[in-house]
Amino acid sequence: MTDSLDALKAKLQQFVDDRDWSRFHSPKNLAMAMIVEAAELVEHFQWDTEVESRQLTAEKRLQVSHELADTFVYLLRLSQVLDIDLIAAANEKIALNGEKYPVEKARGKNNKYTDYQ
Amino acid sequence: MTDSLDALKAKLQQFVDDRDWSRFHSPKNLAMAMIVEAAELVEHFQWDTEVESRQLTAEKRLQVSHELADTFVYLLRLSQVLDIDLIAAANEKIALNGEKYPVEKARGKNNKYTDYQ
Amino acid sequence: MTDSLDALKAKLQQFVDDRDWSRFHSPKNLAMAMIVEAAELVEHFQWDTEVESRQLTAEKRLQVSHELADTFVYLLRLSQVLDIDLIAAANEKIALNGEKYPVEKARGKNNKYTDYQ
Amino acid sequence: MTDSLDALKAKLQQFVDDRDWSRFHSPKNLAMAMIVEAAELVEHFQWDTEVESRQLTAEKRLQVSHELADTFVYLLRLSQVLDIDLIAAANEKIALNGEKYPVEKARGKNNKYTDYQ
């Protein structure tokens, strides 16, 4: 069984190589491209209430899935060109966050990112 | 063999459940959190030249890997609360991009996102 | 009487010249710096409800004013290096938006940016 | 003589009142809208070299001026709904930055935002 992320990264590398786009894919440029895609996702929710953002129509959900995918693709490209293992980095960061926000203190609090930092 | 992304998503869900944070994790809020993390990544490269951004010190590379991980975590959370299959969405979007930027026309061109759209 | 924006722009130019920072202030870099500051503002509101975001403590309001100021400074720098008259550009854009969102159709609708585009 | 910024703010308030959009203009929503516009500006430069970003065609310069204007409009709206004096806030922040980056230490250095913070 092939790991889903490895298969996707291989496909992405092929896509970029076919178009000779590596020269444009500096980390600086890819970080810009990634935040632009993240903003297209934010745009879908900017005038929604939180409740509305949880109840998407099928059409909006499809558009949102495309923006998520675009952000994901640039995130993967960044991890590729920087040779960073994304899964390992996420596991490491989640462990750090677990220490920063211990269950007994963080439970049910939305002020976690200001009071605890 | 467990798929790496599935294992990470299960761990993330547990992290959120342990802290009772689901109530704050509306798509609207998660999209905001994701772009904030993406910006922390951009910050690392804002005064770098493109060449410098390809040659990170070990210390900066570690910091960048943490920002990448944070962005990834919120991306995964968004896909979880919206019940979107991230791998399937990425494959679908790459196929669409392949039609939008055919190899023979897009090869080696950095104006792809303005002239071809 | 000196116009407030002109006075601020003159001060900013002096600040940059004193530090010989013009060389780093390409539009590409300034756009990155501006979105990073905009994200620091977003961060203050990401876990707030909309109601909470309208009722800031004095401390949070001061922090928010600093992030607004930082975003504004980079916006002004961009207008300086690109030689764009920000006031004229805003007036022009507001006129265009007035045509795009006529009062009788847009009144009280939060779907304006999706249905009317 | 009317101050240019005051005149623009009065026009903006009228625009919003005419459409009854105040209800959607919570600081949370306006911060999201502002970063979305900032990202549209970033998009114009993401594949440009720094040199290219300093040499815009007339057409691209016009598009960039519209994105700058949109970002500015939401910045002004944020300052309005939060009752923050943007010019005073900018002057205060520039004074703080002057202490943080003294001329003799910061001159000609692009590592200012990492080494000095």
Tell me how far apart the alpha carbons of residues A116 and A97 are, in angstroms, rounded to a whole number: 11
- In this prediction, residue A84 has a pLDDT band, given cuts at 50, 70 and 90, of very high
How far, CA to CA in Å, does B78 sit from each of A72, B30, B93, B96, C81? 11, 6, 17, 22, 38
- Say whether A35 and B35 touch across the interface (CB within 8 A): yes
pLDDT for B110 beyond 90: no
CB atoms within 10 A of CB D81: 18
The number of helix segments (H) and strand segments (E) in chain B equals 7, 0
Assigned token pair, B3: 């798929």
What is the architecture of the domain spanning C26-101? Orthogonal Bundle (1.10)
Reduced to 3 states (helix: H, G, I; strand: E, B; else coil), residue A79 is helix
Reduced to 3 states (helix: H, G, I; strand: E, B; else coil), residue C1 is coil
CB atoms within 10 A of CB D63: 16
Contact criterion met (CB below 8 Å) for D4 and D27: no
List, for residues B50-69, the tens digit of each pLDDT value.
Answer: 999 999 999 999 999 999 99
pLDDT for D116 beyond 80: no
pLDDT for A112 beyond 80: no
Helix, strand, coil percent values for chain C (each to nearest 5): 75, 0, 25
How far, CA to CA in Å, does C49 sit from each of A16, B2, C55, C58? 41, 38, 10, 18
Burial of D49 (0-12, 13-18, 19+ CB in 10 A): middle
B59 touches chain A (CB under 8 A): no
pLDDT for B44 beyond 50: yes
Tell me how far apart the alpha carbons of residues A52 and A92 are, in angstroms, rounded to a whole number: 33
Chain A contact probe: residue of B20, B74, B93, B111 with most A CBs at under 10 A: B93
**Chain C partners (3+ C-beta pairs within 8 A):** A, B, D
> What pLDDT does residue D117 have?
35
List, for residues C100-109, the tens digit of each pLDDT value.
Answer: 999 999 988 8
- Say whether B26 and A53 touch across the interface (CB within 8 A): yes
Q: Phi and psi dihedrals of B25, rounded to 5?
A: -90, 55
- How close does chain C come to D68, measured CA to CA in Å? 7
> What pLDDT does residue B76 have?
97
- In this prediction, residue B117 has a pLDDT band, given cuts at 50, 70 and 90, of very low
Nearest to D61 among C82, C93, C106 (CB): C82
B16 touches chain C (CB under 8 A): no
A25-28 long-range CB contacts below 8 Å, 24 or more apart? A25/A77, A25/A81, A26/A81, A26/B50, A26/B51, A26/B53, A26/B54, A27/A78, A27/A81, A27/A82, A27/B45, A27/B53, A27/B54, A27/B56, A27/B64, A28/B45, A28/B48, A28/B49, A28/B50, A28/B53
> What pLDDT does residue D3 have?
86
D40 touches chain A (CB under 8 A): yes
Complex ipTM > 0.90: yes
Tell me how far apart the alpha carbons of residues C37 and C77 are, in angstroms, rounded to a whole number: 13
Residue C22, H or E segment: none
**Chain A partners (3+ C-beta pairs within 8 A):** B, C, D
Q: What is the CATH number of domain A4-84?
A: 1.10.287.1080
> What pLDDT does residue C50 have?
96
Give the count of alpha carbons within 13 A of D29, CB side only.
21
List, for residues A20-50, the tens digit of each pLDDT value.
Answer: 999 999 999 999 999 999 999 999 999 999 9
A1 touches chain B (CB under 8 A): yes
Q: Residues A66-99, buried b or exposed e (16+ Cβ, 10 A)? A: bbbbbbbbbbbbbbbbbebebbebbbebbeebee
- How close does chain B come to D117, measured CA to CA in Å? 13
Q: What is the CATH number of domain D4-107?
A: 1.10.287.1080
Q: Is the dihedral of CA D20, D24, D29, D35 positive or negative?
A: negative
Q: What is the mean pLDDT of chain B?
A: 92
- Say whether A113 and C49 touch across the interface (CB within 8 A): no
> What pLDDT does residue C48 have?
96
- Say whether D50 and B49 touch across the interface (CB within 8 A): yes
Q: Which residues, given as ranges, of chain C have pLDDT below 50?
A: 114-117
Q: What is the mean pLDDT of chain D?
A: 92
pLDDT for B102 beyond 80: yes
List, for residues D72-112, the tens digit of each pLDDT value.
Answer: 999 999 999 999 999 999 999 999 999 999 999 988 887 65
> What pLDDT does residue B79 have?
97
Reduced to 3 states (helix: H, G, I; strand: E, B; else coil), residue B92 is helix
Region A58-64 average pLDDT: 97
List, for residues B17-39, the tens digit of each pLDDT value.
Answer: 999 999 999 999 999 999 999 99
pLDDT for B15 beyond 50: yes
